[in-house]
Amino acid sequence: MNGIHDMGGMHGFGPVVPEPNEPPFHSAWEGRSLALNRAMGFAGVWNIDRSRAGIEELPPHVYLAMSYYERWAVRLQNLLVECGLVDQSEIGAGHALRPGKPNMRKLSPADVDASLIRGSYTRHATAPARFAIGDRVRTRNIHPQTHTRLPRYARGHVGVVESVRGCHVFPDSSAIDGRDNPQWLYAIVFEGRELWGPEGDPTLKVSIEAFEPYLEAP
């Protein structure tokens, strides 16, 4: 969706302000917000793509007013209610009012370390790759109202296939139906001026990781 999360190329947010010696968490609740999201992600009721969509669906004014881990907390609450794991009256009460769903996959302390290592999103190909290294391709000018990983600044532009990454879970459909629908993934590199026009930095190249359905012949 064309949400506020898709920020590449926007103006007006000011300078980057690094924080010297930044701690992993600025207060304890940030760590709990992250950990709760990870633990419920492990339950497998929703996948990473649905989870990302949960952040992107926050209205722009809400998104911008919240810190990172606040967004995670709100996203978690919304997904829990949407998936029927917790209901709104329990959120209001701050306590469980009914027993939980049975047979849920629960993260144990012993499984934590393994759960923190990223899983693999590679899947078997169901068709040969349409593009090869060195091919010129154009990103499609598409504006899905649902989750996509094709950023707006990179739509409708011509780039070159730099790498073929194999076949991966396709986020656009996975966020909706939870199925893998594997698609070829490519690194597509654009000249800065292709993206930003003749005033763009002539020394700049930008690459995105693009799934085959994002691409067409130029």
Partner 1 sequence: MSEHEHGHPHASELSETQLRVRALETILAEKGYVDPAALDRIVEAYETRIGPHIGARVVARAWVDAEFKRRLMENAADAIVAAGLAERVGDHLIAVENTELTHNMVVCTLCSCYPWDVLGLPPTWYKAAPYRSRAVIDPRGVLADFGVTLPNGTQIRVWDSTAETRFIVIPMQPAGTEDWSEAQLAALVTRDCMVGTGLPTPDAKVQR
CB 164 within 8 A of CB 135: no
Smallest gap, in angstroms, from Cβ of residue 50 to partner 1? 14
Using CB under 8 A, pick the residue from 75, 195, 212, 215 that binds partner 1.
195
Compute CA distances 180 → 39, 49, 121, 168, 175, whole Å.
22, 11, 9, 8, 10
Structure tokens at 61: 């004014």
Residues 77 to 106: which contact partner 1 by CB under 8 A? 77, 80, 85-86, 90-91, 94-96, 98-101, 104, 106
Q: What is the CA radius of gyration of the chain?
A: 20
Please, which of residues 29-58 interact with partner 1 by CB under 8 A? 29, 31-36, 38-40, 43, 52, 55-56
Question: What is the phi/psi pair of residue 138, to 5°?
Answer: -115, 135
Q: Which residues pair with 14 in a beta bridge?
A: none
Distance CA 82, CA 79 (A): 5
By CB under 8 A, tell whether 76 contacts partner 1. Answer: yes
Q: Applying CB under 8 A, which of residues 46, 131, 184, 211 lies at the interface with partner 1? A: 211
Nearest-approach distance from CB 135 to partner 1, in angstroms: 18
Map the footprint of partner 1 across residues 102-131, applying CB under 8 A: 104, 106-109, 111-114, 116-122
Give me 150's structure tokens. 């094709």
Q: Mask of contacts with partner 1, 147-186, x by CB under 8 A?
A: --xxx-xx----------x--xx-x-------------x-
